[in-house]
Amino acid sequence: EEQKRLLENRPDQPQHPKVLRIAIIGAPNAGKSTLSNQLLGRKVFPVSRKVHTTRCKARGVITHEDTQLIILDTPGLTNSLKAKRHNLEEAMLTDPWDSVKHADLVLVLVDVSDHWTRNSLSKEVLKCLSQFPHIPSVLVLNKVDILKKKFLLLEIATDLTEGIVNGKKLKVKSALKQDSSSSAKVPLQIARPSPPESKVPGSPCGQEKNQAQERSDLDKSSDVEGASTGEVQGPKHCGPQDLKDMKGWPHFQEIFMLAALHGEEVDTLKRYLLMQAKPGPWEFHSDVLTNQSPQEICDNIIREKVLEYLPLEVPYGVTQVTDVWEEGECGELLIVQSLLVPRESHKRMLIGRGGKVISRIAREAGQDLMNTFLCDVCLKLKVEVKG
């Protein structure tokens, strides 16, 4: 009831409100929901190692002083063939596009630990960026902590930007590639809202700014240490033929490198986002953390655990039905949910030997729900075959 009241009421506008709508896009399982949760400081979006954990677009809200960031956590960009394989709704194909269309800034997340995909943006991501070239975009390289050969980050960044960041050509000198076995740590951030007349020491991309332009020019300067730069033309609409030959997007304003799971350099990105906000009315009350209902958050967290502990395609066929949702006298929450599966064999898998699997799912989901709702939660799960 409290959540519903906050969402229905008019926002408590400060005197000079600022707002920024951020769409986070990328291939499935790049870490979009993990990054969203870290930015929010609370687990609101489901996370698992399986693709397509996020099934619909949901909003997270960060309110800091006079600024409101609205995060549009979207399903991974996919195509109709893969959507059919994972039994995904039609909205999974349209939601990311719809989010980008209404965004002020696009964060493109890339998993640098995946050596099969890290050196090129997916065709779906490129298509989405080319459809809205007027919307500023930022490249975020995620899971850098897993990458043992840190020197590869510069090569990946060059490939994913087509060698151009913020309108300047980047030419990484070959000296960076001398020792192919080196695991020397490359500093994690490329862009930092740094003091005037300063440069991030040793960073692959630092920023130089005049004192008078410290804020207004944050998104207009980008440099690469040991690189030659030259001005290039701004973004324009790309046709299918242009995309065919492209591996990266040459119109990113900045590049950030972080490890969302552990929160490394997430605050640096958050500060940058707050500085990019423009004057405009807030959309949500300052106490709102997400536009999802508590029931939706509960469904998502339980589904996350089902995805995590069931093999292959099995969890995508599970249907959730909430039987009981009651608040006790002391504020505790009692939730009983039925998990409906299509086959008897799936039921046995979900329950596990001696009920170990379903017990683990209930225990871990219950703990996550307590951390999210900040109250005691008693979660009971039943498994049944669909009638």
| Reduced 3-state DSSP string for the chain | CHHHHHHHCCCCCCCCCEEEEEEEEECCCCCHHHHHHHHHCCCCCCCCCCCCCCCCCEEEEEEECCEEEEEEECCCCCCHHHHHHCCCCCHHHHHHHHHHHCCCEEEEEEECCCCCCCCCCCHHHHHHHHHCCCCCEEEEEECCCCCCCCCHHHHHHHHHCCCEECCEECCECHHHHCCCCCCCCCCCECCCCCCCCCCCCCCCEECCCCHHHCCCCCCCCCEECCECCCECCCCCCCCHHHHHCCCCCCCEEEEEECEHHHCECHHHHHHHHHHHCEECCCCCCCCCCECCCHHHHHHHHHHHHHHHHCCCCHHHHCEEEEEEEEECCCCCEEEEEEEEECCHHHHHHHHCHHHHHHHHHHHHHHHHHHHHHCCCEEEEEEEEECC
Which of 272, 156, 266 lies closest to 204 in space, CA to CA?
Answer: 156
**Residue owning tokens 């089902």:** 306
Give the C-alpha separation, 31 to 43, whole Å: 13
Top pLDDT among 50 and 262 is at 262
Question: Are the C-beta atoms of 36 and 118 separated by less than 8 Å?
Answer: no
Q: Kindly tell me the burial class for residue 42, based on how many C-beta atoms sit within 10 Å of its own C-beta (0-12, 13-18, 19 or more).
A: middle
Q: Where in the chain is the domain with CATH 3.30.300.20?
A: 294-385
Q: Tell me the average pLDDT of the chain.
A: 78
**Residue owning tokens 């229905």:** 8
**Topology given in CATH for the domain delimited by 1-172+241-279:** Rossmann fold (3.40.50)
- Exposure b/e, 169-186, CB count within 10 A at least 16 = b: bbebeeebeeeeeeeeeb
Q: Kindly tell me the burial class for residue 112, based on how many C-beta atoms sit within 10 Å of its own C-beta (0-12, 13-18, 19 or more).
A: buried
Q: Where in the chain is the domain with CATH 3.40.50.300?
A: 1-172+241-279
- 114-126: pLDDT as tens digits: 999 999 998 889 9
- 232-248: pLDDT as tens digits: 555 655 655 567 778 99
pLDDT attached to residue 10: 84
Which of 218, 19, 42, 246 lies closest to 130 in space, CA to CA?
Answer: 246
- 7-59: pLDDT as tens digits: 888 889 999 999 999 999 988 788 888 999 999 998 888 776 665 544 456 78
pLDDT attached to residue 235: 60
Angle between the N-to-C axes of helices 356-373 and 294-309, in degrees from 0 to 180, rounded to the nearest 10:
140
Which of 138, 260, 254, 142 lies closest to 200 in space, CA to CA?
Answer: 254
Cβ atoms within 10 Å of 87's Cβ, excluding its own: 10
Residue 295, token pair as written in the block: 């029931």
Top pLDDT among 133 and 197 is at 133
pLDDT attached to residue 190: 43
Is residue 342 over pLDDT 50? yes
Backbone φ, ψ for residue 255 (5° rounding): -130, 135
Superfamily of domain 294-385: K homology (KH) domain (3.30.300.20)
- 177-203: pLDDT as tens digits: 444 433 334 443 444 333 333 333 333
Q: Which of 58-67, 84-93, 101-110, 368-377 shows the lowest mean pLDDT across its residues?
A: 84-93
Is residue 308 over pLDDT 50? yes
- % of the chain exceeding 90 in pLDDT: 48
